[in-house]
Amino acid sequence: MAWFLARLVLRNCFRHPLRTALTALGIIVAITAFGLLRTTVDAWYAGAEASSASRLVVRNKNSLMFPLPLYYRNRIEQLEGVKSVSYADWFGGIYIDRKNFFPQFAVEPLSYFPMYPEFVVPPEQMKAFQLDRRGAIVGRKTAEKYGWKVGDQIPLIGTVFAGNWSFVLRGIYHGADARTDESQFFFHWDNLNETVKRILPDKANQVGIFLVALEDPSTAPALSKQIDGMFANSRAETLSETEKAFQLSFVAMTEAILLVIQVVSFLIIVIIMAVMANTMAMTARERRREYATLKAIGFEDHHVVALIAGESLLISLAGGAIGIWLLYPLAAWVGHRFATIFPIFIVSDRTPLAAAAMAALIGVVAACAPAWRAATLKVADGFRALG
């Protein structure tokens, strides 16, 4: 009986090829859109998810717009439990055109990169970068996007630090894994500071943030309080937090947008669910005589329910499978096309599972009403309605 029902379900799916194809197409589009929207949300949180629990970020308590004195570094390094301290400044330069955006940081080269083992740089390139005051290191994605090679001159127009700047590309880093941001541009903080001393001496010897590597990640809360307490009531009070909390503070600024994206992803599923339910209702109405005939020759109510539910699930799961299959190349294209906005745009393991669950839910919900009507249909009513 099960084999017979399975064959009948398969044949029913192709009785109206155009209707089935259009319904499946709608599910494919919905599931693919659902997956892309979920991946977009994941991309927003990618920086926080990739952050290390053994690093603290120390910034000005008032705002990132206000710097911290460089001499704070020596005082932080003396604290017990601190492994090393580095520092960085946001540069925000323009490469040729304002559309060419990528993250740029002035860093202390000797201490910064050992703190970030996820940035993998060939040893000879790292040495060349450290020896050249005008040297720079850039991520693989940005280098590929602009066709940069080691030894190229990279001109930038300063925004935060005005002027025309030129750097020599000494190295190209790649990520230790797929979740490493490969779009960033790094150069010597000393190079930046020397220019600031000449044009804005009051802003010299100041940094945007300190990066603190911890010997034991479990000491992060205590060390954060200790650092902030050490600089309390000073002219530049600090706010110390884990790297993940620091990254999430940026995500919080766009929390409303993320909420809208998540709501839209589920609205798409609800809409296609209504479309699928309408399709199955039409199908069930057209086949009332057939269901009455099956009941008249001995089929039970649950057999009729299995026919309707099976057809609905087969169409929705087939469309969902194709949608999930299309999700990966589309996500790769989006990640490449918008690499500067989403440096990490990868379909997570849970996204296809959620998409498959949505496809199954569409099939089940769409079949509920027509299956119930068919199950409660009396044989005489079935023949009378269509005869």
Tell me, what's the pLDDT at 354?
93
* Closest by CA position to 70, among listed 208, 223, 191: 208
CA 46 – CA 387 distance, rounded (Å): 61
- Domain spans, the chain: 2-47+254-386, 55-215
State both tokens at 185.
């541009």
Beta carbons within 8 Å of 12's beta carbon, 6+ residues apart: 283, 307, 311
DSSP assignment of 85-148: EEEEEE---BBSBTT----EEEE-HHHHHHH-TTEE--HHHHHHHHH-TTEEEEEHHHHHHHT-
Neighbours of 78 (CB within 10 A): 10
Q: How far is CA 115 from CA 56, 118, 237, 276, in A?
A: 11, 9, 24, 53
Beta carbons within 8 Å of 50's beta carbon, 6+ residues apart: 118, 179, 180, 181, 344
> What are residue 117's phi and psi, to 5 degrees?
-65, -15
Average pLDDT over the chain, rounded to an integer: 86
The answer to whether the beta carbons of residues 182 and 139 sit under 8 Å apart is yes
Average pLDDT over residues 287-315: 76
Q: How far is CA 377 from CA 40, 288, 304, 374, in A?
A: 46, 8, 10, 5
Q: Tell me the pLDDT tens digit for each residue of 111-136.
A: 999 999 999 999 999 999 999 999 99
Beta carbons within 8 Å of 335's beta carbon, 6+ residues apart: 342, 344, 345, 346
Tell me, what's the pLDDT at 212?
94
Tell me, what's the pLDDT at 387?
45
Q: Tell me the pLDDT tens digit for each residue of 256-298.
A: 788 888 899 899 999 998 888 888 888 878 777 776 677 777 7
CA 7 – CA 130 distance, rounded (Å): 70
State both tokens at 90.
């946001």
The answer to whether the beta carbons of residues 195 and 163 sit under 8 Å apart is yes
State both tokens at 14.
């192709």
CA 311 – CA 290 distance, rounded (Å): 15
Distance between start and end Cα atoms, the chain: 28
Tell me, what's the pLDDT at 4?
61
Lowest mean pLDDT across 10-14, 129-133, 199-203, 224-228: 10-14
Tell me, what's the pLDDT at 189?
94
State both tokens at 43.
């991309």
Tell me, what's the pLDDT at 190?
93
Tell me, what's the pLDDT at 382?
62
In the chain, the percentage of residues whose pLDDT exceeds 90 is 45
- For residue 108, pLDDT over 90 is answered with yes
- For residue 89, pLDDT over 90 is answered with yes
In the chain, the percentage of residues whose pLDDT exceeds 70 is 92
Pairing of strands 238-242, 104-107: unpaired
Q: Tell me the pLDDT tens digit for each residue of 35-77.
A: 999 998 888 777 666 677 789 999 999 888 899 999 999 999 9
Range among 114-123, 159-168, 304-313 with highest mean pLDDT value:
114-123
- For residue 385, pLDDT over 70 is answered with no
The answer to whether the beta carbons of residues 26 and 359 sit under 8 Å apart is no
Cross-strand pairs, 213: 55, 84
CA 22 – CA 24 distance, rounded (Å): 5
Provide the strand spans (E) within 232-326. Answer: 238-242
